[in-house]
Structure 1
């Protein structure tokens, strides 16, 4: 099974995450495959990212985090950063067609996209402190610009799950539609973009990256701190509890 499906649809390039058995959570190779597709999309008017199997994206794959390999974790962090950078550096508007759960890095993927349309059944939320991690590539910085600092900290720290309508109220997505109208609606958005100047859309996107660019150093700093925490008791307990579907029992504060 290919990690992603890349399908040209007229003026738009659709990228479908294709690991439904893990709710489209990405490992390093999958993140690189998505980034490669984004970097090769310059001949299209827009790009759509969506998921298969009723999920959008569950973020980074948590397999083996209870006993992590430092080199593999470094590679996953680098690949994750490359993925989000590829969304922002793609010269074409990137639309998230959120067809299910957008959790952890999947929610940060929505933050990185230029536009987002959600199915009514979609859900949103961060998972970092619940699973022994931290959402340092968007949710602790850029999301605050999008929805306000207090709301962003609520998502990043409390790890709650939000329905699509609440996500739109917060400003995480642009529109919410019935599930059976999601692709139809996104196709319509792509048609609107195709009628506009690609040159000036690119200028508009590059100009809009000011806050992303300002926060970019914090991504690298945050990932560096995550690397130092690889193998910590908190990471092991967070990953184990997630895989075992139980409440975590984190060590007491030191």
Structure 2
């Protein structure tokens, strides 16, 4: 039986591919477990300095596999599902101390859309669409959707996307600031791979501190954020990568970062 998440080890980075193409890579508990295990291994591997997440086949992820929700007439506890599966995944992606690139190769719907938005840099094929499909079945956007949407696209667009559940094409998603950029379908994986490979050569600890600062900013006052920047910068200034970056700048050569704290 094919694994539900494929792990491709590259030089300093990894590609994680959601691998249920016959179901548009919709999530099951098995896929959650496989992805959690892959991310845990990446967390523990100092040699892995960046991650690329994508989907097999013609779609990125259709969200939850509703066939996995079949019950004998008893309503499922969806809150328990979020607590046990989706929320830990979103928290892990946001807190991972290395950059995560997402290549959205087709439809990203429901939780699939919001898992993509939990990554650091999102590229999408021009044919891709983002759909907050929850309202179609009487549910609330989850997996961080109600947090990410208004911050990325503003209150009015967030409400429209959530309440109407209309597909948002990749080009418009980029124009609205929902994602980093839309690229031609044929170029998606090559561009995403080149970007991830580049990030794997950068000062990984410094990038982790940038993630930490940006994530904290929405809940901080200006004074709190200035204090956080001071504290993070103090630590960043003590790293070997900072010293190397300065030397390389003075010597007018490319820096050779190790990514270590």
TM-score with structure 1 setting the length: 0.78
Equivalent in the alignment of 1:249: none
2: CA distance, partners of 1:211 / 1:110 = 20
Q: Runs of 5+ in structure 2 lacking a partner?
A: 221-261
Structure 1 residues 129-180: Cα deviation after superposition (integer angstroms, max 9, x where no partner):
1023211332212221111111111111110001110111111211111111
Aligned-partner Cα distance in 2 for 1:155–1:126: 6
Matched, 1:128 2:128: no
Match in the other structure for 1:20: 21
Shift of 1:202: 1.0
In the alignment, what sits opposite 1:63? 67
- Greater relative CO (CA pairs within 8 A, separation 6+): 1
Partner of 2:107: 101
In 2, distance between residues paired with 1:165 and 1:69? Answer: 41
SS of 1:141's equivalent? helix
Structure 1 contact 54–100 (Cα < 8 Å) conserved:
yes
For residues 56-106 of structure 1, give each alpha carbon's deviation from its aligned partner in whole angstroms, at most 9, with x where no partner exists. Answer: 001111116464655674553220111111111211111110001000001
- 1:79 aligns with 85
Matches within 5 A, 1:1-254: 1-42=2-43, 43=46, 44-63=48-67, 65=69, 67=71, 73=78, 75-77=80-82, 78-210=84-216
**Structure 2 CA distance for aligned equivalents of residues 61 and 211 of structure 1:** 34
Whether the 8 Å contact between 2:14 and 2:51 is mirrored in structure 1 is: yes
Output the aligned Cα RMSD. Answer: 2.0
User: What's the TM-score once normalised by structure 2's chain length?
Assistant: 0.76
**By how many angstroms is 1:120 displaced?**
1.3
Stretch of structure 1 that moved more, 134-143 or 195-204: 134-143
Return the alpha-carbon distance in structure 2 between the equivalents of residues 87 and 58 of structure 1.
Answer: 18
In 2, Cα distance between equivalents of 1:99 and 1:150: 27
Alpha carbons of 1:61 and 1:69: their partners in 2 closer, same or farther (altered >3 Å)?
A: farther
User: Could you say if the C-alpha distance between residues 99 and 14 of structure 1 is closer, same or farther in structure 2, counting changes exceeding 3 Å?
Assistant: same
Q: Secondary structure at the match of 1:87?
A: helix
Q: Which moved more, 1:81-90 or 1:97-106?
A: 81-90
- Give SS of 1:140's match: helix
1:230 paired residue number = none
